[in-house]
Amino acid sequence: MDHLLIYTGKVRNIYELGDKYLLMKATDRVSSFDRHIGIIPGKGELLNKMSEFWFNKTNHIIKNHLITTQNEIALVHKCVPFKIEVVVRGYITGNTDTSLWTHYNNGSRLYSGNKLPEGLVKNQKLKTPIVTPTTKGKVDRPISKTTIVDEGYMTQEECDYIYKKALELFAFGQKLAEKAGFILVDTKYEFGKTLDGKIILIDEIHTCDSSRYWLKESYQGRFMKYLEPEKLDKDCIRDWVKSVCDPYNDKIPEIPETVIEKAYTSYKYFYDTISSVEDEINTENLVVIISGSNKDIYHVENLMDEMKKENILVETYMASAHKNTREVLLLIDRYNFDKRNIIWVTVAGRSNALSGVVAANSNYPVIACPPFSNKTDMIVNLNSTLQCPSNVPVMTVLEPCNVALAIKRIFRL
């Protein structure tokens, strides 16, 4: 590869491609216990396929950095990563020093700001998933939400947003994994800021490297007998390494071919199975939400939450009809050639040109849902939205829940 290598990670090598893009090579390396522990030939390409599948499936929850993949290489948008791994756990398990079970078994009942009840046993399902972030570095360190903000890793607003998105991603992942016969036990997410300041999902998502998966069918029976679950991740390699040495201090011995083959077979079986399962969101119908300002992000989030409740696929954009007119028109043209059933939802107030511009140039219906902070603001934004000229059909609905319900009925869902 002729491009400039700028970073060598535990699993991925990153190359710079101009000012706006990166090439990420998913290697066959296996990382655990804060170090490299082995090689699984062919793993890198499988990881890329898994991430591409999940990035495409979760684009309605949060945008990501992926542009395209080929074999073990991914072309992505360049961004500034947060130096935090956002770990979400649905079960208490693990073998490493940073695992939830290790801390709990050693007597700790407070982990990354989460209070844990007495009486939990290994591999037990938690009452609700919890977020247990760690710092990113040579040695990962558990950290609480308060400390993340206090130490300047993120602002409070950024942290709240990322926690919310991580839990939404995890819930979606668990639901789809269950349909495929798997349990998504825990996973880690990484987030970054684009060059224009938007928070997106980066690195990888829901792969067998970044996540633990168990077979759903045998879990309960084995749990009741205090047996380890049947696993579909790199835990089989972690378990073997820990059984033959101190993985934090000793030299890692060469991993047997049988263990390597078991790991690869698990990865491939997982990908082949999960990629054949359809989620409940109807991909023939699409809602495109476009907002005029980043100040409207919370209103957009409310709309997305309501769409999610109705299993409606959503894509979001931000572009001002006043300040980014060309960008808005190009976006409209792109969707005019889309063969799906599309409804635009516009989020703008004050002098609301956005709704009218979209309705006048689109082949699809437009529902305006103007944001407002108080009744006076509501009246101003409402009047601005309603005053469209002839042949500019903008429907106006104030409440995000009613927007979702109206769309559901239009799509006949």
For the cut 60, the answer to whether the pLDDT of residue 1 exceeds it is no
Tens of pLDDT, residue by residue over 101-144, are 999 999 999 999 999 999 999 999 999 999 999 998 777 889 99
Residues 92 and 182 in one domain: yes
Query: Where does a domain end: 279, 296, 324?
Result: 279
DSSP state for residue 364 in the 8-state scheme:
S
Query: Where does a domain end: 279, 312, 339?
Result: 279
Residues 25 and 43 in one domain: yes
Residues 265 and 308 in one domain: no
Q: Cβ–Cβ contacts within 10 Å for residue 5, how many? A: 12
Mean pLDDT of 261-269: 92
Residues 220 and 77 in one domain: yes
407 three-state secondary structure: helix
Ranking 12-16, 170-174, 295-299, 376-380 by mean pLDDT, the lowest is 376-380
- Among 320, 354, 359, 326, which residue's Cα sits nearest to residue 342? 359
Cα dihedral across residues 161, 163, 168, 170: positive or negative:
positive
Cα dihedral across residues 328, 329, 330, 333: positive or negative:
positive
The burial class, CB within 10 Å (0-12 / 13-18 / 19+), for 230 is middle
Q: Answer with the residue of higher pLDDT: 161 or 381.
A: 161
For the cut 70, the answer to whether the pLDDT of residue 283 exceeds it is no
Residues 290 and 369 in one domain: yes
Task: Report phi then psi at 168, rounded to 5.
Answer: -65, -45
Residues 188 and 75 in one domain: yes
372: CATH: 3.40.50.1970
Q: Structural domain tally of the chain?
A: 2
Residues 233 and 376 in one domain: no
Residues 223 and 325 in one domain: no
Query: Where does a domain end: 279, 303, 331?
Result: 279
Q: How far, in Å, are 80, 150, 251, 332, 369 from residue 359 at the CA level? A: 36, 45, 65, 9, 13
Residues 157 and 140 in one domain: yes
Mean pLDDT of 79-107: 92
164: CATH: 3.30.470.20
Q: Which amino acid is at 5?
A: L
Residues 302 and 260 in one domain: no
d(CA 325, CA 360): 13
d(CA 118, CA 253): 37
Residues 135 and 55 in one domain: yes
Residues 291 and 404 in one domain: yes
67 Cβ partners below 8 Å, 6+ apart? 21, 74, 75, 76, 77
The burial class, CB within 10 Å (0-12 / 13-18 / 19+), for 220 is exposed
Give the residue numbers spanning the domain of 252. 1-279
